C-alpha cells in the first residue's frame, strides 16, 4: 500500500504546489472544504495524513475542520499548510490539533523533509506505492485504443518486466474487448473488485483476477454497465489508487468510457496519458470536444500526449498538425496495419503472437521501454526528466 494524502484547499494552484512536493512520497487527493465525502474518504482511503490549508481568512474554518476530523479519527495526523506562515497562524493550527505545518514558499526539499518526518512519526502508515499508471484515451470509437492498450500491456509484461505484476484495466466499451483480444476468460469484473475492496490482497488478486497466459492480469467493466451504479464511487476511486500499490504498471484503456467522475479520477492519478486519434476530421473533432470537456473540469490537458492511430504518411493531415490543433505534444504514430489486424482478429490472437516484429509493435515497444525505465526508477523519486511534466499535477475534485 502507498501513502495517500488528502489535501484540503480552495485553490487548485496550492494543491498543485503541495502535490508536486509530495509526489515522491505518495498520492495526493484534492478536496474542497465542506465536502460530504471528506470524512468518509479519510476512512476509505486509509489516509493517515490530511493537509489543511490555514490562511488569513479561513483559519476558523480550518480549525473547525481539523477538530471535526480529529473527533472522528483521533489518530489522524493533520498538517497545516499555507503559502506563507507567521507564528500566529502556526499556533492557531497547532491549537486546532495540527501536528506539523508546511510553508509552500519553502524549498521543495524542505517540504519533503518535513512530510517525511511526519511520515516517520505517524502511526501505522502503509508502505509506499511503486506502480505507475499509463492511460490511453480514444478520440472516438474504433480509432484503435483497445488494440494499442492490449499490446502495450502485453509488451510490458512479456518483454519489459516479466517478473513484475502488470494489470490491463479495460474500461473500454463494449466491455471485455481486451479479454477477447487476448483470448482470456474473465469472470471477475471491476465492480466485483470494488466490492472486495476491504479484503483486497495478493491472494484475491491471484485467485480472482483473470490472467493471460503471459501472466498479465486483466480486469474489465461489467457487461451490464448499470452495475456501476451499485458500487460506491469513493470505493471505486480508492481501488484505482490501490492498484498502483499492487502492480508495477497499470495500463488503462479508457476507450469509450463515459463515466466522467471515475474517468477524471483515473486521469488524475495517471502518470502518463495518451490520446489516440486517427488522421481524420471527425476523429480530430471528437478529440477536441473531449479535451474541451476535460479542460472545463479543470484538467490540465497539456499532460496528454497524442498517439496517432492507423497512421498513413500519404494522408495530408500530419500528426504534427493534429497535435498543434489539439495543443498536445506528439508521442508517436501507430502505423496502419489493416490486413495484419484483420488476420489477427480472425485467428483470435494478438499481433504480438502473429508477427512479433511488426512495425506497429516496434512503436509500442519504444513506449513500453520508456515506461519500464520510469517504473524502474520508482514512482516520483526519479530525477525530473522529460516525463516529469506528465506526472500528477492534478487530482480531481470529489464532489
Ligand X SMILES: Nc1ncnc2c1ncn2[C@@H]1O[C@H](COP(=O)(O)OP(=O)(O)OP(=O)(O)O)[C@@H](O)[C@H]1O
Q: What's the alpha-carbon Rg for the chain, to the nearest Å?
A: 22
Single residue of 255, 305, 319, 350 touching ligand X by CB under 6 A = 255
Number of residues forming the site for Mg ion (CB under 5 A): 4
Q: How far apart are CA 386 and CA 398, in angstroms?
A: 30
Minimum Å gap between C-beta 167 and ligand X is: 18
CB 379, min distance to Mg ion, A: 27
Rank residues 137 and 398 by Cβ distance to ligand X and give the closer one: 137
- Out of ligand X, Mg ion, none, what residue 151 binds, judged by CB under 5 to 8 A for its kind, is none
To ligand X, the closest distance from the beta carbon of 342 in angstroms equals 7
Show the beta-strand stretches assigned E in the chain: 4-8, 27-31, 49-53, 77-82, 100-103, 132-138, 166-170, 210-211, 217-220, 249-253, 272-277, 304-311, 329-335
Q: Total binding residues for ligand X by CB under 6 A?
A: 21
Binding range to Mg ion, per CB under 5 A, among 120-128, 193-201, 251-259, 285-293:
251-259
255 counts as binding Mg ion under rule CB under 5 A = yes
Q: CA-based angle 49:197:134, to the nearest 5?
A: 75
Contact flag: residue 360 with ligand X (CB under 6 A): yes
Judge contact between 137 and 290, C-beta under 8 A: yes
333 binds, among Mg ion, ligand X, none (CB under 5 to 8 A by kind): none
Q: Which partner in Mg ion, ligand X, none is near 144 (CB below 5 to 8 A by kind)?
A: ligand X
Kindly state the smallest distance separating residue 254's Cβ from ligand X, in Å.
10
Which of 26, 80, 97, 144 is the binder for ligand X (CB under 6 A)? 144
Q: For residue 355, state whether it binds ligand X (rule: CB under 6 A).
A: no
> Per rule CB under 5 A, is residue 146 in the interface with Mg ion?
yes
Least Cβ distance, residue 170 to ligand X (angstroms): 9
Q: What is the rounded CA–CA span in Å between residue 323 and residue 307? A: 9
3-state secondary structure of 311: strand
Task: Choose the contact partner of 131 out of Mg ion, ligand X, none; CB within 5 to 8 A by kind.
Answer: none
SS3 helix, strand, coil % of the chain, rounded to 5?
Answer: 45, 15, 35
Residues 77-136 that bind ligand X (CB under 6 A): none
Closest C-alpha to 337, from 312, 365, 314, 307: 312
Alpha carbon distance 77, 65 (integer Å): 13
Q: How far is the CB of 347 from ligand X (least distance, A)?
A: 12
Residue 170 makes contact with ligand X by CB under 6 A: no
How near is the Cβ of 253 to Mg ion at its closest, in Å?
6
254 near ligand X (CB under 6 A): no
**331 binds ligand X per the rule CB under 6 A:** no
Q: Give Dmax over CA atoms of the chain in angstroms.
A: 71
Does the protein bind ligand X through residue 338 (CB under 6 A)? Answer: yes
Q: Which residues contact 211 (CB under 8 A, 6 or more apart)?
A: 184, 217, 218
Query: Hey, what's the cell of 72?
Result: 472522528
Give CA–CA dist 148/320, Å, rounded. Answer: 20
Compute the distance between CA of residue 19 and CA of residue 5 in angstroms, rounded to an integer.
Answer: 9
Alpha-carbon dihedral 142, 147, 153, 156, rounded to 10 degrees:
-130
**From ligand X, Mg ion, none, which one binds at residue 141 (CB under 5 to 8 Å depending on kind)?**
ligand X
d(CA 217, CA 210): 6
Contact criterion met (CB below 8 Å) for 319 and 279: yes
Which of 129, 336, 371, 395 touches ligand X by CB under 6 A? Answer: 336
The item of ligand X, Mg ion, none sharing an interface with residue 72, based on CB under 5 to 8 Å by kind, is: none
Give the nearer residue to ligand X in terms of CB position, either 337 or 391: 337
Q: Which residue is nearest to Mg ion (CB)?
A: 146
Q: Decide: is 172 part of the binding site for ligand X (CB under 6 A).
A: yes
Chain-centroid distance, C-alpha 218 = 17
Interaction partner, residue 310 (Mg ion, ligand X, none; CB < 5-8 Å by kind): ligand X
- Which residue in 4, 157, 303, 310 binds ligand X (CB under 6 A)? 310
Binding site for ligand X (CB under 6 A): 138, 141-147, 172, 177, 255-256, 309-310, 334, 336-338, 341, 345, 360
Q: List residues binding Mg ion (CB under 5 A).
A: 146, 172, 177, 255
Amino acid at each position: 500500500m502507498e501513502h495517500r494524502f488528502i489535501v484540503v484547499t480552495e485553490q487548485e494552484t496550492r494543491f498543485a504546489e503541495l502535490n508536486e512536493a509530495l509526489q515522491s512520497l505518495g498520492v495526493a487527493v484534492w478536496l474542497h472544504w465542506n465536502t460530504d465525502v471528506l470524512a468518509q474518504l479519510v476512512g476509505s482511503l486509509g489516509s493517515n495524513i490530511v493537509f489543511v490549508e490555514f490562511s488569513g481568512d479561513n483559519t476558523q474554518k480550518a480549525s473547525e475542520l481539523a477538530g471535526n476530523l480529529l473527533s472522528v479519527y483521533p489518530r489522524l495526523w493533520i498538517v497545516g499548510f499555507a503559502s506563507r506562515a507567521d507564528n500566529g497562524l502556526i499556533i492557531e493550527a497547532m491549537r486546532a490539533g495540527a501536528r506539523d505545518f508546511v510553508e509552500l514558499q519553502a524549498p521543495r526539499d524542505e517540504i519533503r523533509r518535513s512530510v517525511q518526518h511526519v511520515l516517520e512519526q505517524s502511526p501505522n502508515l502503509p508502505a509506499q506505492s511503486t506502480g505507475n499508471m499509463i492511460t490511453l484515451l480514444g478520440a472516438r470509437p474504433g480509432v484503435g485504443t483497445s488494440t494499442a492498450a492490449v499490446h502495450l500491456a502485453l509488451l510490458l509484461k512479456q518483454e519489459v518486466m516479466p517478473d513484475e505484476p502488470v494489470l490491463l484495466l479495460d474500461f473500454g466499451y463494449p466491455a471485455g474487448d481486451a479479454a477477447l483480444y487476448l483470448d482470456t476468460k474473465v469472470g471477475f469484473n471491476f465492480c466485483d473488485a470494488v466490492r472486495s475492496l476491504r479484503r483486497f490482497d495478493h491472494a484475491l488478486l491471484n485467485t480472482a483476477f483473470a490472467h493471460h497466459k503471459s501472466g498479465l492480469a486483466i480486469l474489465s467493466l461489467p457487461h451490464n454497465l448499470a452495475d456501476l451504479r451499485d458500487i460506491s464511487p469513493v470505493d471505486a476511486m480508492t481501488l484505482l489508487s490501490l492498484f498502483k500499490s499492487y502492480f508495477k504498471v497499470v495500463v488503462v484503456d479508457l476507450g469509450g468510457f463515459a463515466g466522467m467522475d471515475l474517468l477524471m479520477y483515473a486521469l488524475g492519478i495517471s502518470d502518463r496519458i495518451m490520446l489516440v486519434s486517427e488522421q481524420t476530421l471527425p476523429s480530430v473533432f471528437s478529440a477536441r470536444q473531449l479535451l474541451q470537456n476535460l479542460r472545463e473540469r479543470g484538467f490540465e490537458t497539456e499532460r496528454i500526449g497524442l498517439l496517432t492511430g492507423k497512421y498513413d504518411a500519404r494522408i495530408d493531415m500530419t500528426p504534427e498538425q493534429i497535435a498543434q490543433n489539439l495543443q498536445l505534444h506528439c508521442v508517436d504514430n501507430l502505423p496502419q496495419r489493416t490486413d495484419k489486424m484483420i488476420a489477427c482478429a480472425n485467428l483470435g490472437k494478438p499481433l504480438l503472437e502473429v508477427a512479433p516484429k511488426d512495425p506497429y509493435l516496434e512503436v509500442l515497444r519504444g513506449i513500453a521501454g520508456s515506461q519500464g525505465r520510469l517504473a524502474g526508477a520508482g514512482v516520483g523519486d526519479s530525477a525530473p526528466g522529460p516525463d516529469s511534466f506528465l506526472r500528477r499535477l492534478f487530482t480531481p475534485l470529489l464532489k
